[in-house]
């Protein structure tokens, strides 16, 4: 039963990877919403904090990966407007 949560968490954690690759290839992030990225990043930080507080290692790992990928995309957005 835990595999469902693991696979779901992994998909969320790597969900922005294709977009990160595309921005790096095209050197363009103009179509990405800064507001959306900020909202998802702040939500990810809060969710990761919650995962740490409840001491769930899989939840911590997946949320950390997802938040890191969001941060990368946010930084790329600021770099390649």
Domain boundaries, the chain: 2-79
Q: Report the pLDDT averaged over residues 13-30.
A: 94
Model confidence band, residue 81 (pLDDT cutoffs 50, 70, 90): confident
Model confidence band, residue 6 (pLDDT cutoffs 50, 70, 90): confident
Cβ contacts of 23 within 8 Å, gap of 6 or more: 29, 32, 73, 76, 77, 80
Architecture of domain 2-79: Up-down Bundle (1.20)
Cβ contacts of 49 within 8 Å, gap of 6 or more: none
Model confidence band, residue 29 (pLDDT cutoffs 50, 70, 90): very high
Residue 80 backbone dihedrals phi, psi, to 5 degrees? -110, 50
Model confidence band, residue 5 (pLDDT cutoffs 50, 70, 90): confident
């Amino acid at each position: 039963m835990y595999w469902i949560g693991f696979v779901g968490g992994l998909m969320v954690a790597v969900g922005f990877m294709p977009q990160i690759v595309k921005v790096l290839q095209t050197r363009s992030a103009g179509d990405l919403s800064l507001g959306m990225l900020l909202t998802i990043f702040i939500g990810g930080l809060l969710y990761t904090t919650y995962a740490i507080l409840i001491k769930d290692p899989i939840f911590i790992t997946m949320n950390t990966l997802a938040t890191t990928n969001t941060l990368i995309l946010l930084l790329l957005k600021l770099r390649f407007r």
